[in-house]
Amino acid sequence: MRNKETHYALGLAFLFLAVGGYTTIHHEMWRDEIQAWLLARDSASVFELFAHLKYEGHPGLWHLCLMPLTRITHSPVIMQVFHLLITGVTVYLFARYAPFNRFQKFLFCLGYFVLYEYGILARNYGLGLLLIIVFCILFTERYRRFIWIGCVLFLLAHTSVHALILTLAIGFALCCEYLCRNQFSKPLAQEIAAIEDKKPIWIGFALISIGIITSVLQLNPPSDTGFAVEWRFAYESEELSKVIHLISHAYLPIPEFSLNFWNKHQLETYGFFQSIQIPFCCLLIFCSVLLLLKRPTALLIYLVATFGLLAFFYVKYYGSMRHHGFLFITFLMTVWIHRDCSEISLPFKRLNGLPQRLFSPFFTFILICNFLGGMTAVALEDRHVFSYGKKVAEYISEKDMQDMTMIGEIDYAASTIVGYLEKDEIYYVHGRRFGSFVRWDDVRMPDVDIPDVQVVEEANILRNQTSQDILIIMNRALDSKLITEHNLTFLTQFTGSIVDDEGFYLYLILAP
């Protein structure tokens, strides 16, 4: 039986790598993927990397993993390969050890989040998912392997702010379970009592605590940060409604079948679904709670993590699908580990058996929606260009212009080109400085649109200072009068990408 499960897991992992590899070849990385690469590439030391990360809003584990790769090559393609392999390992471990049937494993491993958001798109979230799967595998014998649990959660807290929220929920629930073990679970109390040396358990809790504290310290922004600086504590019904809608986004992630499908949801194009969306989201949460009702530890993790994430989306940063996916990952994690949690009896007999009878169809329905979302995303990724940063870099190289002085507006979009060109730096109008990665401080004027005239004037200043041709990279077309007045040469344009603000217009100012 074990051999059959191992073979199935290997087969599913190879299938994932085949589909994921094909899609990755056709995926043009966008600014957030390239930003992490440039930060790792252009930080001279680990200390300098963490100084730069202060503006990012994420801990640094992913960037630390990338640093050795940047010393091998300056091509960010190696990051894509590395990331896909990480998710391939995740798929194998899930297919090998998850307590679900083979059909459910297949649906999950080719679902929207695993295949696309945390597989194709090379970000820090895929590493977090791997660590969550490892935690679920270790959970069965958690108190006999508590140091390993502590190590995994220590690392998990350093993958993303959303994974940090999950780590807080897990750590809190495990602490409650351990301290209250004698009150509701004799088998658990006996198991822990049989462990003669309790020191590893306290070391594990210490590792979890240190991981949480050090991650929070990393996430504490400097005084001159310019990104997501506001907090929303006042009640706003419209914003609260938007946050509740995220539950359906995460559990049923079927993207809109269009060019700009990313972070858009097909179900929300139907008026009927819009009218029932909030009750439907509440029903999803209710059904999830019902499934976990007899297992207090799993239920506590689910409630703390789910409402912690929703609170973060409301008060700090609304986020995108990759962030909202942690609501689904929380659900998946708790339905995996709940069978290994202590069980209590409920006062109503029907509630003791009903949740388990409802579990399989409810879980399968959610996984089918994830699978449909994954296939839709892969098909649209193959059909359309995700970002034109790669093709612009290829065009610049073909025209032998890669060594020219360049000026980029907007900086976060132009940085994609810098990564693909393997260029040291270009001039960013936002912030009026040279750089490669974007520095999210208040100097870059994040909420100010730079007038086209200012962009051209600064390009002229650079031309006069360097006595060289200047390549201007724009995300919008310049006015014909401005082109004529400053004697610009329009080279080409790349428009119509999935990320709609990563299309580009290239102009040339000849040296005086």
Lowest-confidence pick of 147-151, 350-354, 359-363: 350-354
What is the structure's pLDDT at 229? 77
What is the structure's pLDDT at 497? 96
End-to-end CA distance of the chain: 76
**Reported confidence tier of residue 111, pLDDT bands at 50, 70, 90:** very high
CA 311/CA 235 separation, integer angstroms: 12
Inform me whether the pLDDT recorded for 339 exceeds 80.
yes
443: DSSP letter: G
| Mean pLDDT across the chain | 92
What is the structure's pLDDT at 322? 95
pLDDT in tens, 65-81: 999 999 999 999 999 99
CA 135/CA 151 separation, integer angstroms: 10
What is the structure's pLDDT at 445? 67
What is the structure's pLDDT at 350? 62
The answer for residues whose C-beta is within 8 angstroms of residue 409's C-beta and 6 or more apart is 428, 429, 430, 450, 455, 472, 473, 474, 475
What is the percent of the chain where pLDDT is above 70? 96
pLDDT in tens, 237-246: 899 999 999 9
Mean of the pLDDT values across residues 217-243?
87
Mean of the pLDDT values across residues 3-27?
95
**Reported confidence tier of residue 134, pLDDT bands at 50, 70, 90:** very high
Q: How many residues are there in the chain? A: 512
Inform me whether the pLDDT recorded for 351 exceeds 70.
no
Tokens matching residue 162? 């959303």
Mean of the pLDDT values across residues 377-396?
97
**Reported confidence tier of residue 190, pLDDT bands at 50, 70, 90:** confident
3-class SS of residue 409: strand
**Reported confidence tier of residue 446, pLDDT bands at 50, 70, 90:** low
What is the structure's pLDDT at 407? 96
pLDDT in tens, 247-285: 999 999 999 999 999 999 999 999 999 999 999 999 999
What is the structure's pLDDT at 510? 92
Lowest-confidence pick of 387-396, 442-451, 486-495: 442-451
Mean of the pLDDT values across residues 461-475?
94
Mean of the pLDDT values across residues 177-190?
77
CA 500/CA 508 separation, integer angstroms: 23
Alpha-carbon distance values, 449 to 212, 410, 411, 454 (Å): 37, 9, 12, 10
Inform me whether the pLDDT recorded for 348 exceeds 70.
no
Q: Is the pTM of this model over 0.85?
A: yes
Inform me whether the pLDDT recorded for 193 exceeds 80.
no
Strands 426-428 and 405-409: parallel
What is the structure's pLDDT at 378? 97
pLDDT in tens, 18-64: 999 999 999 999 999 999 999 999 999 999 999 999 999 899 999 99
Handedness of CA 56, 57, 60, 66 (dihedral sign): negative
Give strand pairing partners of 473. Answer: 408, 506
